[in-house]
Amino acid sequence: MKTFNSVIISLFFFQILGCAQQADENNMSIQQLKEEMKANENLIILDVRTPAELEGPLGQIDGVINIPVQELENRLGELEEYKSNEIAVICRSGNRSGVATKILLQNGFKAKNVLGGMTEYINQK
- Enumerate the active-site residues: 91
Q: Quote the distance between the C-alpha of residue 37 and its chain's center.
A: 15
Give the span between the Cα atoms of 36 and 11, in whole angstroms.
36
Classify the C-alpha dihedral 93-97-49-91 as positive or negative: positive
| Cα→Cα distances 41→1, 14, 94, 123, Å | 57, 37, 23, 24
Element (H, E) at 15: helix 2-25
Say whether 89 sits in a helix, a strand or coil: strand
